[in-house]
């Protein structure tokens, strides 16, 4: 890949998953809609299996000689052709692998047929007006390799992934995490928008246990309602109402059952 124009990061992406995705239009029936949304998964923080604790990765300022040495060490340790390359201006290019772990559906422009991974690679549908949206699940645990610059920021990586899949959701709904395994435990840390993933990759080395990248929903504990569209907000209200009605029905059923058992016990007791 040639050097990108100043201020315009260049991305290349290889596709490591061909798993098909389930689609559902937001204008579909209510029963189909509930297959893709629940208020608990969309509005509440989900319990995490991983330990979401801060993992401090030092990002020292390296001289060009130190960067060159680290790139040589990095390239000598990998078993593929995903090498890093030093540029004349002191920057460097290389590959980062991002695993997508999204539990909610994403929105893409509605079309006669759902966009395939091949469509996303070709950029089919870009520039078209978004009048309707289709919600679908991205392939579970899909892995993407991106060819990026050392100055490419985490926010630009997220935006590039969304563009490749034609996702029209607000990028603020997503976050890039670094993942590390230590003593049998898994730790996650959310990257800030301005952190540079390729620098983290170089400093940590090629080991996926030492460092890997994961794209997840940006669950900060507070819901950013401005990031949702009007149809999504209406859907949430409908789902909340249904969950409230279902919860009330279960409570009434429970007390009705208890009342029945108490009455049966009273009738079974001998008088006197």
Angle, CA of 47, 181 and 69, to the nearest 5°: 140
Tokens of 216: 């997840």
What is the domain partition of the chain in residue ranges? 64-107+132-222, 227-267
Integer Cα distance of 108 and 116 in angstroms: 11
Q: Which residues contact 152 (CB under 8 A, 6 or more apart)?
A: 9, 11, 196, 197, 198
Residue with tokens 């030093």: 86
Residue 250 banded pLDDT, cuts 50, 70, 90:
very high
Instruction: Read off φ and ψ for residue 159, nearest 5 degrees.
Output: -65, -40
Residues contacting 70, CB < 8 A, separation 6+: 62, 202, 203
Note the pLDDT of residue 272. Answer: 56
Q: Which residue has the higher pLDDT, 227 or 233?
A: 233
Which CATH number fits the domain 64-107+132-222, given the four candidates 3.10.20.30, 3.40.605.10, 3.30.9.10, 3.10.20.90? 3.10.20.90
Q: Where are the alpha helices (DSSP H) in 78-184?
A: 117-122, 154-164
Contact assessment for residue 124 and residue 165, using Cβ atoms and an 8 Å cutoff: no
Question: CA 269 to CA 272: how far, in whole Å?
Answer: 9
Question: Higher-confidence residue: 25 or 131?
Answer: 131
Round to whole Å and give the CA distance between 109 and 135: 9
Question: Looking at the predicted structure, is the pLDDT value of residue 6 above 60?
Answer: no
Please, what is the end-to-end C-alpha distance for the chain in angstroms?
94
Phi, psi values for residue 245, rounded to 5°: -65, -40
Collect all residues with Cβ–Cβ distance below 8 Å to 18 and sequence separation of at least 6.
Answer: 117, 139
pTM assigned to the model: 0.57
- 3 state DSSP class of 2: coil
Rounded mean pLDDT of the chain? 76
For 97, the 3-state DSSP assignment is strand
**Predicted confidence (pLDDT) per residue in 133-174, tens digit:** 777 788 777 888 999 999 999 999 999 999 988 888 889 899
Identify the CA nearest to 178 among candidates 151, 209, 137, 147.
209
pLDDT tens digits, one per residue of 185-209: 999 999 999 999 999 999 999 999 9
Q: Which runs of consecutive H residues, i.e. helices, occur in 78-122?
A: 117-122
Helices 64-77 and 197-204, interaxial angle, to 10°? 70
Cβ atoms of residues 114 and 136 within 8 Å: yes
| Of the candidates 192, 100, 196, the residue with the CA atom closest to the CA atom of residue 149 | 196
Alpha-carbon distance 196 to 250, whole Å? 50
d(CA 123, CA 225): 29
């Amino acid at each position: 890949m040639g050097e990108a124009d100043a201020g315009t990061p260049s991305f290349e992406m290889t596709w490591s998953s061909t798993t098909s995705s389930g689609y559902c239009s937001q204008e579909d029936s209510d029963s189909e809609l509930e297959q893709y949304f629940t208020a608990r998964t969309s509005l509440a923080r989900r319990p995490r299996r991983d330990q979401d604790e801060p993992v401090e990765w030092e990002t020292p300022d390296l001289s060009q000689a130190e960067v060159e040495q680290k790139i040589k060490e990095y390239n000598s340790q990998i078993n593929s052709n995903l090498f890093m390359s030093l540029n004349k201006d002191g920057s460097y290019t290389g590959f980062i692998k991002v695993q997508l772990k999204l539990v909610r559906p994403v929105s893409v422009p509605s079309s006669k047929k759902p966009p395939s991974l091949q469509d996303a690679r070709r950029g089919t549908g870009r520039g078209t007006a978004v009048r309707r949206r289709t919600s679908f699940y991205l392939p579970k645990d899909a892995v993407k390799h991106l060819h990026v610059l050392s100055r490419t920021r985490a926010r630009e990586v997220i935006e590039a992934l969304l563009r490749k899949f034609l996702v029209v959701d607000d990028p603020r709904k997503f976050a890039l995490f670094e993942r590390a395994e230590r003593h049998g435990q898994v730790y996650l840390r959310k990257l800030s928008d301005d952190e540079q993933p390729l620098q983290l990759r170089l400093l940590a080395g090629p080991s996926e246990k030492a460092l890997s990248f994961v794209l997840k929903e940006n669950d900060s504990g507070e819901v950013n309602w401005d990031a949702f569209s009007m149809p999504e907000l209406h859907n949430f209200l409908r789902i909340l109402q249904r969950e409230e009605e279902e919860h009330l029905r279960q409570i009434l059923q429970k007390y009705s059952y208890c009342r029945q058992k108490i009455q049966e016990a009273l009738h079974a007791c001998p008088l006197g």
